[in-house]
Amino acid sequence: MANLGDPNGSINKYLQTYTTFSGADIVATFGGIEIGALSGITFSVTREKAPIYTMGSPNPRSFSRGKRGIAGSLIFTVFDRPALYTMLDKNRANGDPSQVFYTRSHNALPGDTSYKNRGIADVNDQGSSVIKKVPYYADQIPPFDITITFMNEYGQAAVRSIYGCELLNEGSGASMDDIVIEETMTYVARELGPMYTVATDPLLEAPTDTEMQFLNSSKLSSDIIRP
């Protein structure tokens, strides 16, 4: 039997080699709530760059850099409730004010009896016409962070985060040819953090001083998380 503490042992050879991940190794949390229905996530970063020309040369002299855009899509498997129902329900139960939105009473759902006089509010009654509601459409959900956690069977782990996600579109459908029902959403974000490794089991291999500081710390370094 190989010695787990031996850095040259046969088991440690695999632990140090197989460091890749698949979709089955991923757990995603939205606003601190684990979303088990997520089956796919994409993200992309684009930036405007344009060549600068001057007279006398057909080639660009330089390139100017403009705005950056971060966006992506989310794919959920539909079971018996909306994809983000768990996140909204838990935050509502905990009284989290960041997971509600404010709107005019005339924008409430049809059939909602918690408001009166559906229509444009009187000019002298603007303040009282603003009410607090739980999001009904995906585009009403306030910005939230997405944390993607990777961990495979060999104990290798990594983390990546997407900050300030705003949902734009949502869509779904059903067909006789579909064996599962999916719901897709698109989003834009403020920042995309880098993917970095996380030490998970210091018993298999003696951790370095930096890893020990990471394991013992209650909060991650902002230099690592944010680009």
- Residue-level pLDDT at 112: 54
The pLDDT assigned to 190 comes to: 93
Q: Dump the DSSP string for 75-91.
A: EEE-SSS-TTHHHHHHH
pLDDT value, residue 86: 72
The 10s digit of each residue's pLDDT in 126-156 is 556 677 777 778 888 888 899 999 988 877 8
Q: In Å, what is the CA distance from 57 to each residue of 49, 50, 51, 52, 64?
A: 19, 16, 12, 11, 17
Tokens of 48: 């405007």
Structural domains of the chain ordered from first start: 10-53+61-93+139-225 (2.30.110), 101-134 (no CATH)
Mean of pLDDT values over 4-21: 63
Amino acid letter, residue 220: L
Give dist(CA 182, CA 194) in Å, integer.
Answer: 28
pLDDT(81) > 90: no
pLDDT at 164 over 60: yes
Give the pLDDT score at 59. Answer: 95
More confident residue, 8 or 90: 90
Predicted confidence at residue 91, as pLDDT, reads 67
Q: Are 33 and 91 in contact (CB under 8 A)?
A: yes
* Amino acid letter, residue 127: G
For residues 151 and 157, is the Cβ–Cβ distance under 8 A?
yes
Q: What is the dihedral of CA 55, 61, 67, 71, to 10 degrees?
A: 120
In a 3-state reduction of DSSP, which class is residue 12?
helix
